[in-house]
Structure 1
Amino acid sequence: MAADKKTPKKASGFNAFIDKKYIPLDNKIKIVIALALIIVPVALFYFLLYSPTDKQIQQLAKQKESLQAEIAKAKKAAAELSKIEADKAKTEELFKETATLLPKTKEIPALLRNISDLGKGAGLDFLSFKPGAEVPKDFYAEIPIDIQIDGPYHNMGYFLDQVSKLERIVTVDNIQMSGARKEGAEMLLKSSCRLKTYRFTGVQQQAPEQKGRRR
C-alpha cells in the first residue's frame, strides 16, 4: 500500500485548530474556510480602502489636468493682454505725435499768415486767399484754403515746396495754371490750387442713422 502523502505542517496545524476549536470537518470544507479567511480581508481592504482611494486619486488627477488647462489658458491670456497693452501704448504714442502736427484752433490764423508770407517771400502776388468752412472728420477737421496767385512758374514751385516743409501738415490739391505770358526773361502765369490744413478735434464722427424700411 502506497504511503500517504505528508500533509504540510501549516495545513495540519490549521486542521488541528479547526478540529479542536469546532468539530472535525471534511478537508474540502476546511479549504473553503481557509480561502474565505484569506479572501474576505483582501476584499474588505479593496472595497473599503483601496477602491475609494483609487477613485479619489483618479478624480484628483482629472482636477489636476483641468487646473493645468486653466493655467495654460490664463498664461496665454496674460501674454495676449501684454501684447494688446504694448500695441495700445504704441498707438497712443503715435496718436500724440500725429496730433502735434495738427494745429489747434488758436493756431490756425498764425498758420494762414505763415502760408501767405511764404507766397509773398517767393515773389508771388496773391489774387485771392479764401479759407473755407471746416469739414469734420474722425478726430480732426479739414480746413480748405482756395488761393489764386500770379508770378513766375519756378517761384510757384518754390512756394509749394516751402509749404510742404511747414511743421504743421498742409497738403496741396487741384493745381491749375493758365494765362502764361512772358515778361523779360521770366515766364509768368496765373495759378490756382486748394491747400488743406487740419485741426485736431479729438471727436469721432458718428455714422448717420439708417432710416427704417417702409412697409
Structure 2
Amino acid sequence: MKVNKIKEAFNSFLEKKVVPLDKKIIIAIFALVIILPTIAFYFLHYTAKTKEIRGLESQAGKLRKEIAGAKARAARLDEHLAEMEETKRLFAEASILLPQKKEIPSLLTNISALGTNSGLNMVTFSPGGERRQEFYAEIPVTLKVNGPYHNIGTFLYEVSKLDRIVSAVNITLGAPAMQRGEMILSSGISLITYRFLEESEIEAQKPQKGKKRR
C-alpha cells in the first residue's frame, strides 16, 4: 500500500509541477530543428558555392571575349598576309614592266637593235637624263633614223611588244627622199622608258627632318 501511495504522490507531483508543452511550442521547436541546419547549410555551403560559380562565370566571360578577340586578330592577320601576297604579286608584275637600274643599258641596247632589225638606219640614239617620280624614274630616249615609213611602223610595233614599258611620245617625219626606188624618211622619235627607283633613291627624295621645303 505504501508503494502505491508513493507512486500516486509522485504522479501528482509531476502533474502539478511539470507543465505540458503547448502544441505551438512543439511545432516551433520542430521547425527550428529542421530549418536551422538548412539555413546553416545555405550560408556555409550553398552561398560559398554560388560565389564560386559566379566567379567562374565571370572568368568564362572574360575568356570568351579573349577568344573572340584572338579570332578577330587572326582574321586580320590572314587579311594582312593576303594583302602582302597580293602586293608581292603586283610588285613582281611591275618588276617585269619597270626594270631595275642595272637593266637599263641592256634595254636601251635592245631598243637600238630593234631599230636596226626593222630596217632603219640609226643616225643617233641619245638617252636623256632621268626624271624621278615617287617610286620610278622616266628615262627619255631620242632617236634620229632614216628609213621607209612602213619600217618605222614595224620598229614601233616591235617596241610595243617588249616586256618593259616603252612609250612613243613623239614622232617627227622629215621630208621624204627617193632612194633606190624607195621613199626614205628622216625621222625623229622620242621614247620614254621607266625603271624602279632603289630604296636609297626613294629615301633620298624624302624631305629631311628639320628642313622645310622651299
Out of 132, 146, 149, the residue aligned to residue 150 of structure 1 is 146
Distance in structure 2 (CA, Å) of the matches to 1:75 and 1:190: 69
C-alpha displacement of 1:124 = 2.0
Counterpart contact for 2:120–2:151, Cα < 8 Å: yes
Counterpart contact for 2:140–2:190, Cα < 8 Å: yes
Distance in structure 1 (CA, Å) of the matches to 2:166 and 2:40: 91
C-alpha displacement of 1:172 = 1.6
Structure 2 residue 139 is the aligned partner of structure 1 residue 134: no
What stretches of structure 2 of length at least 5 have no aligned partner? 1-17
Structure 2 residue 18 is the aligned partner of structure 1 residue 26: no
Structure with the higher helix share, 1 or 2:
2
User: Match for residue 59 of structure 1?
Assistant: 55
Distance in structure 2 (CA, Å) of the matches to 1:106 and 1:35: 101
Equivalences for residues 195-206 of structure 1 within 5 A = 195-203=191-199, 204-205=202-203, 206=205
User: Match for residue 4 of structure 2?
Assistant: none
C-alpha displacement of 1:160 = 0.9
Equivalences for residues 17-166 of structure 1 within 5 A = 24-166=20-162
User: Match for residue 3 of structure 2?
Assistant: none
User: Match for residue 177 of structure 1?
Assistant: 172
| 1:144-196 C-alpha deviation (Å, 9 max, x unpaired) | 112233332211111011112234x1322322333353637655444333222
Q: 1:176 to 1:101 in 2, by over 3 A?
A: closer
Distance in structure 2 (CA, Å) of the matches to 1:110 and 1:211: 39
Say which is worse superposed, 35-44 or 85-94, in terms of deviation.
Answer: 85-94
Q: 1:93 to 1:23 in 2, by over 3 A?
A: farther
Counterpart contact for 1:172–1:193, Cα < 8 Å: no
Counterpart contact for 1:180–1:187, Cα < 8 Å: no
Distance in structure 1 (CA, Å) of the matches to 2:33 and 2:78: 66
Instruction: Give the aligned length.
Output: 190
What stretches of structure 1 of length at least 5 have no aligned partner? 1-21
TM-score between the two structures when normalised by the length of structure 2: 0.72
Secondary structure, in 3 states, of the residue corresponding to 2:21? coil
Counterpart contact for 1:181–1:188, Cα < 8 Å: yes
